Amino acid sequence: MLPIHFAPLQGHTDDVYRRTHHSLIGGIHRYYTPFVRVEAGDIRSKDRRDISPKNNIDVPVTPQLIFSSLKELEYLTAEIEALGYHSIDLNMGCPFPLQARHGRGSGLLAHTDIVSEVSHFIQSHPHLTFSVKMRLGWDNAQEWRPVLDILNDTPLAHIAIHPRTGVQQYKGDIDYSEFEQFYDTCRHPLIYNGDLTTLTQLHEMEERYPRLAGLMLGRGLLCRPTLAVEYTEGREFTHEEQIRTLRTLHAKLMEQYAQIVKGDAQLHSKMRPYWEYTEPLIGHKPYKKIMKSGNLRNYLAAIEELR
Ligand SMILES: Cc1cc2nc3c(=O)[nH]c(=O)nc-3n(C[C@H](O)[C@H](O)[C@H](O)COP(=O)(O)O)c2cc1C
């Protein structure tokens, strides 16, 4: 059985979500914070709350950093280290044009000069453990080759690969042919990430690629938060159990967000995105009802009907 990593998902897997998922459901080897970046010379206060150790007590979490230069990486690493973290994940995969066009995330993959600087930086910080989460490239599925040559000579805990390019965003086919070449070339423990939504798929990946060191799940877990624990416990939950757990998780999240945001309208807009990826589990009609609920009252009534 492979360790399951919960992929970072900006706007979804914040500290409240990770804490609640971990204590209520579990099955996750490691969580990652959505990327932390430099904005106007500082870390945003929202991100500071997310990475604050007091908000992550007893949760196995690694902060993820996104950066376009060695200077940004140095600043962010010092801040993270000062909080007491020893493991850091580096984002080389984000496809959001706003980040990628500034050379961050998958936009960094074309800049092997900066990747080399990052490699030296990692080598000069042996007391910290770094990992990398990356794509095949920005607009070219071969861009990973010179990058992996550098990373293979860099001490890393693992590489997580999402085998798409940045311009594909989250759609289009996964490139298994490039992935297999990546799998054969990578000298670090390798974690596969992308489109895993069922127990059968998890078992298939395990069998098809026996040298994998783990699986990373994102949208599949947002839809079915029990997927990892079903895999680790070796028992498929019934549809009813899955829905019940989804609703309990939702109720616990709402309880906590109600203390953070003010008023019903804000609470509604905070909670609604929670359901964004749940259509395959809850069905089209209930999904539409929640998405079009308009206010907190209709929203709660729609959830009440879920079976
Ligand atoms: C809404 C959204 C936000 C995301 N935020 C991040 C992020 O902050 N850092 C990151 O490395 N990847 C981010 N990702 C990518 C996911 O971590 C993951 O690589 C991607 O969703 C593919 O995995 P999946 O098919 O299991 O969802 C995000 C994806 C989505 C859909």
Expressed in angstroms and rounded, the spacing between residue 28 Cα and the centre of ligand 1 is: 16
Average pLDDT over residues 302-307: 94
CA-219 nearest atom, ligand 1 = 27
Average pLDDT over residues 36-48: 95
Residue to substitute in 104, 219, 227, 231 for testing ligand 1 pocket (most ligand atoms within 8 angstroms of CB):
219
Residue to substitute in 4, 10, 169, 276 for testing ligand 1 pocket (most ligand atoms within 8 angstroms of CB):
10
Average pLDDT over residues 90-100: 95
- Looking at residue 149, its pLDDT comes to 98
Residue nearest to atom 22 of ligand 1 (CA): 194
Expressed in angstroms and rounded, the spacing between residue 52 Cα and the centre of ligand 1 is: 21
Mean pLDDT value across the chain: 97
Any residues with Cβ below 6 Å from ligand 1, and which? 7-11, 34-35, 64, 91, 93-94, 133, 162, 170, 193-196, 217-220
pLDDT classification of 192: cutoffs 50, 70, 90:
very high
pTM of the model: 0.98
pLDDT classification of 35: cutoffs 50, 70, 90:
very high
Separation between Cα atoms, residue 144 and residue 112, nearest integer Å: 10
- Looking at residue 288, its pLDDT comes to 97
- Looking at residue 115, its pLDDT comes to 98
Average pLDDT over residues 231-253: 97
Average pLDDT over residues 286-298: 97
Architecture of domain 4-233: Alpha-Beta Barrel (3.20)
pLDDT classification of 196: cutoffs 50, 70, 90:
very high
Residue nearest to atom 31 of ligand 1 (CA): 9
- Looking at residue 152, its pLDDT comes to 98
- Looking at residue 177, its pLDDT comes to 98
User: Where in the chain is CATH 3.20.20.70?
Assistant: 4-233
pLDDT per residue as tens digits for the range 167-190: 999 999 999 999 999 999 999 999
Average pLDDT over residues 70-78: 97
Average pLDDT over residues 287-307: 96
Element (H, E) at 60: none
Average pLDDT over residues 102-130: 97
User: CA angle at residue 176 from 174 to 178, to 5 degrees?
Assistant: 105
Does the CA dihedral 125-126-130-132 come out positive or negative? positive
pLDDT classification of 51: cutoffs 50, 70, 90:
very high
Residue nearest to atom 29 of ligand 1 (CA): 9
Nearest CA to 248 out of 281, 218, 219, 225 is that of 225
Expressed in angstroms and rounded, the spacing between residue 8 Cα and the centre of ligand 1 is: 6
CA-277 nearest atom, ligand 1 = 31
- Looking at residue 25, its pLDDT comes to 98
pLDDT classification of 146: cutoffs 50, 70, 90:
very high
47 contact partners, CB below 8 Å, separation of at least 6: 33, 36, 37
DSSP, residue by residue, 97-141? HHHHTTT-GGGGTT-HHHHHHHHHHHHT-TTSEEEEEEEEESS-T
CA-197 nearest atom, ligand 1 = 26
Average pLDDT over residues 139-144: 96
